[in-house]
Chain A
Amino acid sequence: MLRYSLTRFLGAIPTLLILITVAFFMIRAAPGGPFDAEKQLPPEIEANLRAAYHLDEPLVQQFGRYVWNLARGDFGPSFQYKDYSVTELIAAGFPVSLRLGGSAMLLALLVGVFAGTMAALRQNSRTDHAVMAVSMTGISIPNFVMAPLLILFFAVYLGWLPAGGIGDGGLRYMILPVISLALPQIAYISRLTRGSMIEVLRSNFVRTARAQGLPERTVILHHALKPALLPVVSYLGPATAAVITGSVVIEQIFGVPGLGRYFVQGALNRDYTLVMGVVVFYGALIILFNLFVDLVYAWLDPKVKYA
């Protein structure tokens, strides 16, 4: 297991390098540059700025410089937010996104697995139809519609919860963004759980367990749930990485100072270093979570063995 993890870890390095290369040259290929503004800068000022950020060097040399600095843990300065470095921006944004996204995923997992299991156990009953209808709605109503509706109802009309911001970082400020983030995930997870649970419940070992007269609770919790969760677990890896690096929509609507909006703002402002920073960070997280999922798989599924 340890050896497997190590090999996977080393294998991630070329993947990351490819990611860095593609992202670096793609953002540079986009028209416009970080210093373009409606009022064009006088040429000498622009030249001066480009030289200060090494943008006047050949692209390959800039790439070499970037990778070298990255290897030393330096993401470079942000072009847009001049008082901060990209490392500082990520360090400030990630804990917020992690807390928000982590809570949302946990909530989604609990509610989604529970609702999916209930639906599977009572297949084609009213519970089943209700859960599936709600989850279909959850999937089809996008975040940018749901979130403002939640704010309008709970913050503007009822005044129970804040309309946005993180305030003192208290729980009140987390509720609406967490629910908005969790809703689509709940929908996916409950559908995944239901489908796979139905399949597992029809399998021989469940029939055997029931035939032996085990209580239904034991059958579900001890025998059926583990294999039924396999597809959910493989979904969780990339989904968690995506949710904890922040959602630009949720962050904009709730004014949450997370990482997500740096993807969009960085790209729009041609803030090369910021875009690269969040892409590399996100890429590394996805690799890490996929590895983690594979390890969990080995624990859940007796058929899988890593030697």
Chain B
Amino acid sequence: MNQKRVLGVRNLSVRYQTQAGAVHAVSDVSFDVFENEVFGIAGESGCGKSTLIRALMRLHADNATVTADEISYEEQDLQGLSDAAFREQVLWSRMSLVPQSAMNSLNPVYRVGDQVVEAIQAHSRKSKAEAQERVAELFDVVGLQADLMHNYPHEFSGGMRQRAMIAMSLALDPGLIIMDEPTTGLDVLVQERILRRIREIREQISSSIILITHDIAVIAEMSNRIAIMYGGQIMEQAPAIDLFEAPHHPYTLGLKNAFPSIRNLGQELISIPGSPPTLLGELTHCPFQERCPFRIDRCRTTLPEVTALADQHEVRCFRHPEAPTLREQATEKATWRSLN
């Protein structure tokens, strides 16, 4: 692969100091995002996916400590930048964020267009007229009529507001757009339309996208490569097709079993027993071992390292060489029931 790397992250960890002790929300996460790709990060609530992007965008809470061996944008180090310099040079112009429940992030007392104009002017030297022209362009890109600029947020539907937020994130032609659950809470048809629009935008402009969601189906359809997070770690990452056709991590196998598909109505759904870990204290073992039917003694005492399998396929599991056998066993309900 000789693709150009847009974002490089090596061994990023985020820990929170709370009354109950240190919470290791994200541990040793490494990934790259290449030019012109959609990189999907999937995981359930509390897996650390939102904490990870907040740390990348420097939006983490005061009681959080972020450490990393590398965070770079187009091979330029970002960690050395002060917060002010990061806001000035990176935010919006190189990396932008469509936050979670973005449709509620618009200020109800200002016109939607003016809010985008304001964002543009805050980060560039464009005049008001130029900025407005840009907003009209952006609205066109996301499929909103340009005259809607003069409307207030309450006159927009949820889907329209979400598109306006995406328009705002595109304003300064960033090389990387991070979208946190961009369609959660929207109706199916609206979600479909927004996802289609995001795909079209990606084809039109040469930005890369990090898409974060808990919805396995959305991530399967949208992403070129996918990372599966659990307990603050990336358990497995691979090109989308490899991940779905040759999953190696027991958690990925479990998720596949648990997620219903409208194309496969006869399929028996199997849940993963137990519930996610609390992440309190240092990780000394695999965070998934409590719920894993394939655990061995070593899983309880040692933290598995990342192993590179094939081209861009990495997994954090001691038993990855046995993956074909495990894959077969994982489709049996009894395998997962054996834990109880």
Question: Is the pairing of A and B real?
Answer: no
B residues near A (Cβ < 8 Å) are none
A residues near B (Cβ < 8 Å) are none
